[in-house]
Amino acid sequence: MAVEVSSLPDVQVLRNLEQSEVSTTGTVVTIGAYDGVHRGHQAVIARVKRLAGDRGLETAVVTFDRHPASVVRPESAPLLLTDLDQKVELLAATEVQYAVVIEFDEARSKEPAEEFVTEVLVGALHAKVVVVGEDFHFGYQRQGNVALLRSMGAELGFEVVGLELVGLDGEPAPTAQSVSSTVIRAALRAGDLAAANTMLGHSYEVRGVVNHGDARARELGFRTANVAVPDEICMPADGIYAGWYLRPDGLVRPAAISLGRRPTFYETADTSLLEAHLLDFDGDLYDEVARVRFVAHLRDEVKFDSVDSLIEQMAIDCEQARSQLSGSLSQGQLR
């Protein structure tokens, strides 16, 4: 079973605002890290699109090439739900017209909030409406906030819409029930993939290059793609999963995925290894950039008494993965 992913809607990705042409009719703009582009983010963008449609304006999301915390407080910066390419692709899927990617370096971290407003929001994007969360902060030492935006907007000609945190239905929600990148990371680390995927609104995906593993495929009878995911990406809890393996040519293969430290073979391992066994596939995957989507958690990782017991369980895992993925495909969950 192999399927092909359809192309995403076009979005203009702006990285150099000085050389970019943005419509002078004006924009409705939202700003944020947008890590994961989860259902809370999607609700904000939906509000942006409604406001733009009502007023004949264009839509823009301002985000950053890295998480601002990685520059401001690198010792406690969160692991990422999406790399930059993923984030832009997910923004494109919302059909926003402009994705503005700001380089967030040391100089940008020390930029006064007022300068960001005049340079980016007004000068480059001709903002008429700015949509942010009520707890939004920006600029040097987080001195910019909604109150500052409203004060500057009254002077410079843009309106500010401050939104409360939202829940899964897109409506305002208590903090304990709200959707956020932080809550999604916690769910992934706790092994609650179902909750994470529900909050994301799509299956969690990681990307990396396929490299050579410890060559146990012949012994086990299950060839796997060993995917080296960058250290800054948040990984789900160790375990066995059903998911999809997306190849660079656009073809998608169902896969049984193992994420863990291989306790049957090693007493200790410093890091978890991501291995994807592509169902009904026998080909060379080395050195290609793989995209692995986690659809369902099948079981925890365990240590087996023998290699034969492990092989028997791997066959069961593959059949369970096949069943899970057949259902998700019939429900249109792959895009």
3-state secondary structure of 88: helix
State which amino acid sits at residue 289.
V
Round the CA-based radius of gyration of the chain to a whole number and report it: 22
pLDDT at 219: 64
Q: Which two tokens stand for residue 211?
A: 């490299």
CB atoms under 10 Å from CB of 237, counted, come to 18
How many helices (H) and strands (E) would you count in the chain?
10, 13
Q: Which CATH superfamily is domain 203-330 in?
A: Riboflavin kinase-like (2.40.30.30)
Q: Which CATH superfamily is domain 3-181 in?
A: HUPs (3.40.50.620)
State which amino acid sits at residue 117.
V
Over residues 93-112, mean pLDDT: 94
Over residues 60-87, mean pLDDT: 95
pLDDT at 216: 61
Q: Residue 3: pLDDT above 60?
A: no
Taking only the tens place, the pLDDT of each residue in 132-162 is 988 899 999 889 999 999 999 999 999 999 9
pLDDT confidence bin for 29, thresholds 50/70/90: very high
Q: What ranges do the domains of the chain cover?
A: 3-181, 203-330
- Which residue carries 């896969």 as its tokens? 255
Q: Residue 37: pLDDT above 50?
A: yes
pLDDT at 238: 95
- Spatial separation of the C-alpha atoms in residues 45 and 143, rounded to whole Å: 24
Q: Which two tokens stand for residue 148?
A: 């500052």
Over residues 221-248, mean pLDDT: 94
Over residues 111-133, mean pLDDT: 95
- Which residue carries 């809370």 as its tokens? 40
Q: What DSSP letter does each residue of 76-97 carry, written as one string?
A: GPPPBSS-HHHHHHHHHHTT-S
Q: How high does pLDDT run on average in the chain?
A: 88
Q: Residue 231: pLDDT above 90?
A: yes
Q: Which two tokens stand for residue 105?
A: 């370096």
State which amino acid sits at residue 45.
I
pLDDT confidence bin for 5, thresholds 50/70/90: very low
State which amino acid sits at residue 55.
R
Taking only the tens place, the pLDDT of each residue in 154-211 is 999 999 999 887 777 666 666 657 889 999 999 999 999 999 999 999 999 999 999 9
